[in-house]
Amino acid sequence: MRDGESEYTLLLGLVFLLELFVGGLAYFYESQIQYEIQEDLNSTFLTSYGIDEERTLAIDLMQIEYKCCGAIRFEDWRASSWFRQNDTIAPIIRLHGERLVPDSCCITITENCGKRDHPSNIPYTGCIYRFTEELRQQLVIIGAIGLGICSMNIIGMILACCLFAKLSELKD
């Protein structure tokens, strides 16, 4: 092979190895990424709901879309700043009307539906599980696309080698 031909094949090989390396890193660090997401999501649920308007809206939308309640389970709300903020009024009021979970947790959302934390009213599954399952599905799609691109690179390398071999035969 001539210099340009071998450089082209080498470049295709390097691109393939780089894609393989990045894919390997993503695979090996998936559990770490998942752990970080869970920690951040749990922290956001516990400390930001009812305090930061944008995050409150985001959590409400997540609970509605994924049909979940709390970060890990619906009881998470009892340890949240939102719950404690409501609890400072008077503990006895909670028994007679304060919400146990945000209304966005409810299966059928109505005003003050979060007063009951019964399974017929709210899902007991936390949003982390639904969110990480959605993330895992998206990563499978991304991985499949990555494999498709890698296989195209391999096919390109094979075809380039065949082309260069044929060109050298024709020149001889």
Tokens of residue 53, six digits: 């308007």
Return mean pLDDT, the chain. 82
Cα–Cα distance measured from residue 112 to residue 110, given in angstroms and rounded to the nearest whole number: 6
pLDDT score at 91: 47
Q: How confident is the model at residue 89 (pLDDT cuts 50, 70, 90)?
A: very low
Q: What is the pTM of this model?
A: 0.67
Structural domain spans, the chain: 1-170
Residue 69 binned pLDDT confidence (cut-offs 50, 70, 90): very high
CA–CA distance, 140 with 134 (Å, rounded to integer): 10
For residue 127 the two structure tokens come to 């949003």
Q: Is the pLDDT of residue 80 over 50?
A: yes
Arithmetic mean of pLDDT, 43-66: 92
